[in-house]
Copies of this chain bind each other. A is one copy, B any other.
Amino acid sequence: MKPNLFPWLKDVRLNSATLTGDMSAAVVVTLMLIPQSLAYALLAGMPAHIGLYASVLPLIGYALLGRSPALAVGPVAIASVMTFDALMPFFTPGSPEWVAGGMFLALASGLILIVFGFLRFGFIAALLSHPVMSGFVSGAAILIILGQIKTLTGIQVTGGTAFDQLQQLMTNLHNVNTITLSVGLCTFVLLLLARRFAGMWLKRVGVRGLVLDILTKASPLVMIGIVTLVLVAMDLENATKTVGSVPTGLPILALPPMSSAYSGLVISALLIGVVGFIESVSMARAIGRIRKVPTDPDAELRGLGAANVLSGLSGAFPVTGGLSRSVVNLDAGARTPLAGVFSAILMVIVLLGAGQYLAALPLASLAALIIVAIWSLFDWRTLRECIRFDRADAAGWLVTFFGVLSLGVEHGIMLGIALSVGTVLWRQSRPHIAIIGRLPGSEHFRNVHRHQVETLSNALFLRVDANLFFANWDRVREFIDQQTNHLTQGGEVVLSMASVSDIDSTALEGLQGLARDLKTREIGLSLCEIKGPISDKLKRAHLDGQVNTHLSNHDAFEAIRAKGHALNSPNI
């Protein structure tokens, strides 16, 4: 398969409109990206400036192979906290080995995603159901917020499950660093005020359109800037932890130094990649629906893969499509991944120039930023809807949510995958089969248990409502055996294949066995409403010789009736 560069060119024709849309979106998104990338780097246990590195080449990588017109790629909270969890057992946060481990995670998950993309593995999105993903993200959000509270208060917490951390915070409340806490709380309040009122104030002073948009999205950065300036003015920048020296200049492309621990990181890389993909592809679908362009999960796999490989090579950590930034990107008029390329260019300018200005940013302010950003990830709504629609889904949400809180993100997501896959297998293993009869005076066949229908003596009409394959054939066969016990010599079993659109070798062998076993009881087997591809397969398995085939239920019904099977009318 050829790589197929810039696949999004298939969906849009570039023109001045798309370019201006992409550029203005880039400005808006970059203003959010600067503080967020610093914050999420800290969340991943990295030096803050690594977050800026993760916001340059990955965006270009996505534009190379990704297809969504407005997915904003870069450092995100979930991937960052999963990175932290994966590296924790092997290295010390912030150390060079830690950073190298992050590079490996990005490279490995990137390569895995690219391979998956070329193998057309987009279907693995089904590894996590929507409720399970929502429960996972909500649980992770709680973990992240708990984690930030220690930065916000300066209280030492050694980590562990949500419950451990909470307890440690409680016991160490007396160690709170008042300056850090007040810085954090001030930022927190300012951010909430800005989010709530910035737009209104700006409108009142007559700001409109793009400028309004830019200024609103810049407000978090502005607020943190204000707090920082006040600190500096009050000469307190050393009284609380700050970002510290940020190396000016661009990331150098390099492979991480090898380490024996990396073999233990492969599974984590796989999980980070898959979770990031599933999050991104659902975002991409929402975007595609709005922008009226197709969503191509395989292209998303390749695009996110390229982004991560380049992130790893530029000394950074796993990235993926960010939800909030993508929404902003879309609103701000992004039409193509060029928006990301323009953000990357702006980030280069930041890296070359703004280093010294970022150094004084207090970590507590960034922690406040994370909390404000993350809170929206907590997803009560889905839980409520699940409780209303489908109890099993609600259970999935809750089990995953508490699984993450008690087992941590990595085992939490494994649990979630097991739940989702289990659900699929379970649904598969119980195909719906109906005994059907004819609605009097029509050619319409319905379930005998729900409708007053005509049936034929010593004949059984069954409708299988599923594709036939290894995961459900045994159940189908058992159902048929039970239902056909009462049939006598000369009887006929009719399988209505209207909804069978695929059949595998296990089921084909099974059908042969069924025909054989029925023959020994001198009972015939008829198939009807067979679809083209299925009848081809039946021929290849030489089944057409062993069974009678009819176009429709109705034809089969009349043919068998003609053989002398009495008609049982519903009222008799």
A509: Cβ under 8 A from any B Cβ: yes
A424-B471, A444-B443 in contact; A429/B125 too (CB < 8 A)?
A: yes
Scan residues 250-301 of chain A and give those whose CB is less than 8 A from a CB of chain B: 285, 289, 294-295
Taking CB atoms, residues of chain B closer than 8 Å to A447 are 531-532
How far, in angstroms, from A537 to B124 measured CA to CA in the complex? 27
A421 B425 Cβ-Cβ under 8 A = yes
In the complex, are the beta carbons of B509 and A471 less than 8 A apart? Answer: no
A541 touches B388 (CB 8 A): yes
Interface flag for A152 (CB, 8 Å):
no
A201 contacts partner chain B, Cβ-Cβ < 8 Å: no
Cα–Cα, bound, A506→B428 (Å)? 17
Q: When chains A and B are docked, how far (Å) is the Cα of A466 from the Cα of B498? A: 11
Residues 388 to 431 of chain A near chain B (Cβ within 8 Å): 388-390, 392-393, 420-422, 424-430
- Residue A522 at the B interface, CB < 8 A? no
In the docked arrangement, what's the CA distance between A210 and B450, Å?
53
Residues from chain B with a CB closer than 8 A to the CB of A421 are: 421, 425
A83 at the interface (CB under 8 A from B): no
Say yes or no: B427 contacts A467, CB within 8 Å.
Answer: yes
- Whether A505 contacts B386 by the Cβ 8 Å rule is yes
Does A195 count as interface, using CB distance less than 8 angstroms?
Answer: no
A393 touches B126 (CB 8 A): no
Q: How far is the CA of A342 from the CA of B424 in the complex (A)?
A: 41
Minimum distance in angstroms from A421 CB to a CB of chain B: 6
What distance in Å separates the Cβ of A568 from its nearest Cβ neighbour in chain B?
21
Checking B390, B425, B430, B481 against A505 with a beta-carbon cut-off of 8 angstroms, the contacting residue is B390
Contact A478 B429 (CB under 8 A): no
A97 at the interface (CB under 8 A from B): no
Give A422 to B126 CA distance when docked, in angstroms: 10
For residues 420 through 467 of chain A, which have their beta carbon under 8 Å from a beta carbon of chain B?
420-422, 424-430, 432, 442-444, 447, 450, 465-467
Alpha-carbon distance between A559 and B139 when the two chains are bound, in angstroms? 49
Residues 122-136 of A contacting B (Cβ, < 8 Å): 122-127, 129-131
Chain B residue nearest to A433 (CB atoms) is B501
Residue contact A130 to B470, C-beta cutoff 8 Å: yes
Alpha-carbon gap, A540 to B391, bound state (A) = 12
Q: Is the CB of A428 within 8 A of B432?
A: no
Contact yes or no, B471 A126, CB < 8 A: yes
Distance, CA A392 to CA B469, complexed state (A): 12
* A167 at the B interface (CB under 8 A): no
- Chain B nearest Cβ from A196, distance in angstroms: 29
Question: Is B504 a contact of A123 with CB atoms below 8 Å?
Answer: no
Among the listed B289, B393, B428, B470, which residue makes an inter-chain contact with A504, where contact means beta carbons less than 8 Å apart?
Answer: B393
Q: Do residues A501 and B432 form an inter-chain contact, with CB atoms below 8 A? A: yes
At the interface, yes or no: A385 with Cβ under 8 Å from chain B? Answer: yes
User: In the bound complex, how far is the Cα of B421 from the Cα of A570, in angstroms?
Assistant: 44
In the docked arrangement, what's the CA distance between A541 and B285, Å? 23
Residues of B within 8 A of A164 (CB): none
Set of chain B residues within 8 Å of A474, measured between Cβ atoms = 125, 285, 295
Min CB–CB distance A129 → chain B (angstroms): 4
Binary interface encoding of chain A residues 479-509 relative to chain B, with 1 for a CB under 8 A from any of its CBs, else 0: 0011000000000000000111110111011
With an 8 A cutoff between CB atoms, is A561 at the interface?
no
Bound Cα distance from A501 to B436, whole angstroms: 14
A240 within 8 A of B: no
Chain A: number of interface residues, binned into ranges: 35 or more
Give the shortest distance, in Å, between A520 (CB) and chain B (any CB): 12
* A554 adjacent to chain B (CB < 8 Å): yes
CB atoms of B501 and A393 under 8 A apart: no
**Contact among B127, B388, B443 for A442, CB-based, below 8 A:** B443
Q: Are A506 and B129 within 8 A (Cβ)?
A: yes
Alpha-carbon separation in the docked complex, A450 to B472 (Å): 28
Assess whether A432 is in contact with B540, with CB atoms less than 8 Å apart. Answer: no
Scoring A residues 318 to 342 as 1 if CB is less than 8 Å from chain B, else 0, what string do you get? 0000000000000000000000000
B131 and A444 contact, CB distance less than 8 A: no
The answer to whether A552 has its CB under 8 Å from any CB of chain B is: yes
Nearest CB of chain B from residue A399's CB, rounded to whole Å: 13
Chain B nearest CB, measured from A257 CB (Å):
28
Across-interface contacts of A126 in B (CB, < 8 A): 425, 428-429, 470-472
Q: Which of A510-560 contact B (CB under 8 A)?
A: 517, 531-532, 537, 540-541, 552, 554
Contact A506 B130 (CB under 8 A): yes
CA distance A443 to B445 in the complex (A): 11
State how many angstroms separate the Cβ of A126 from the closest Cβ of chain B: 4
Contact (Cβ within 8 A) A540 B388: yes
CA distance A392 to B537 in the complex (A): 13
Q: Which residues of B contact A131 (CB under 8 A)?
A: 470, 505-506
Complex CA distance for A537 and B385, rounded to whole angstroms: 13
User: Which residue of B424, B470, B498 is within 8 Å of A499 (Cβ)?
Assistant: B498
Q: Which A residues contact B (CB, under 8 angstroms)?
A: 122-127, 129-131, 285, 289, 294-295, 385-386, 388-390, 392-393, 420-422, 424-430, 432, 442-444, 447, 450, 465-467, 469-472, 474, 478, 481-482, 498-502, 504-506, 508-509, 517, 531-532, 537, 540-541, 552, 554
**Sample of 10 further A-B pairs with CB below 8 A, known A386-B505, A389-B504, A390-B505:** A123-B430, A130-B470, A131-B470, A285-B474, A385-B505, A388-B541, A389-B540, A390-B508, A442-B552, A465-B467
List 7 A-B pairs, minimum CB-CB distance, nearest first: A499-B499, A432-B501, A123-B429, A126-B471, A389-B505, A390-B505, A129-B470
